Amino acid sequence: MINLDLPEKLQNVQSTMRQVSEALFRPISRKYDRAEHEYPKELDMMRDAAGDSGVMGGGSSNPSEGVRNGSNMSSVVAMTELCWGDTGLTLTIPGRGLGNAAIAAVATPEQKQRFGDKWAAMAITEPGAGSDSAAIQTTAKLDGDEWVLNGEKIFVTAGDRCEAVVVWATVDRSAGKAGIKSFVVEKGTPGMEMVRLEKKLGIRASDTAAISFTDCRIPKDNILGSSEVSKSGFGGVMQTFDNTRPVVAAMAVGVARAALERTRELLRDEGVSADYSRAPNASSALEAELYRMEADWEAARLLTLQAAWMADNGKANSLQASISKAKAGRMGNAIALRCVELCAGVGYGEQELLEKWARDSKILDIFEGTQQIQQLIVARQVLGKSSRELR
């Protein structure tokens, strides 16, 4: 029988992160939404706590050791609670970025020791390469004992505040996606320049940077995984997404739950409350709408937990990771927007956080692979088609 209750260890993570959201994130949420690019100094206390809770620390677990709920499950539980508080603040917790998940997933033990405590951002997107990661033009050429990087990256979350960046670059353009590798570039490396900070619709508490690399030299052993160009090589790079996509799905689950809970409270004040003892066809239109959104939310939550559990138990979860990301990303944005509509003027105004959650939720349907890309990945795997056969 499937047990859907969280074990005590994860209940502790859930409780701790919920307290952080209530006591720290919610009170300063609007402040840093208005003060874009201002670093939230209140988060400095979070660095050690985030590491202990596994936030953005997704990696592989060894089932032979009896691990059933490891860092991936801990991450999705923590991120759900933190994004119930504030998505932008969650993305700028010191010490834990998307690049840390990449390091945890594919780095060698020596690299994990060198880079594991650094706040690492992820640099994939380029002006000419968005959802199609195989179209990356940033190059990495081996020169003696150093890699030389040249190119430009955009939309790098925490790109200004981080201590290192995991950069995707090609070591052989003629090899296509097989030539794509990931490299760790530490902040302050000559040739690496933060070009600008973006102004955004949502997640304004989080900095989003454009970074250029001009003859940027890094040590030879800063490449994550093998430098060998092979058809299977790109799969190692893409393994990062198998860990981070459920985390982003969890973020959408968290912000959607925040919107649903506040909407129920506001509607209850107006005399509209869900009565689960009554048949759905005997409910009002508003009540029926709440039921549909709750069912959609629960489906996304369970898919996210499944993808994380599979990763922790050494099971291939690429399909499930994309399914959870596609479902939760769309669900989160749809529910947040619908909650604004149901609460009318109150939902649209700044006296409530509903309009902010709606703005924040949109990015969760975009980054780590857009809705359309996730559906394409799922279709390829379900139909057994290659990327060349199904575009």
- Active-site residues: which are they? 368
Q: Which of 77-110 are b and which e, b meaning 16 or more Cβ less than 10 Å from the residue's Cβ?
A: bbbbbbbbbbbbbbbbbbbbbbbbbbbbbbbeee
Quote the CA–CA distance of 149 and 169 in Å, as a whole number: 8
Output the six-digit token pair for 342: 């149901």
Nearest residue to 89 via CA among 149, 142, 24: 24
Report d(CA 61, CA 286) in Å as an integer: 44
β-pairing verdict for 120-123 and 164-170: parallel
Q: CB count, 10 Å around CB of 278? A: 11
Distance, C-alpha 4 to centroid of its chain: 23
Which residues have C-beta within 8 Å of that of residue 345, sequence separation ≥ 6? Answer: none
Q: How many CB atoms lie within 10 A of CB 174?
A: 8
Q: Please tell me the total number of residues recorded for the chain in this structure.
A: 391
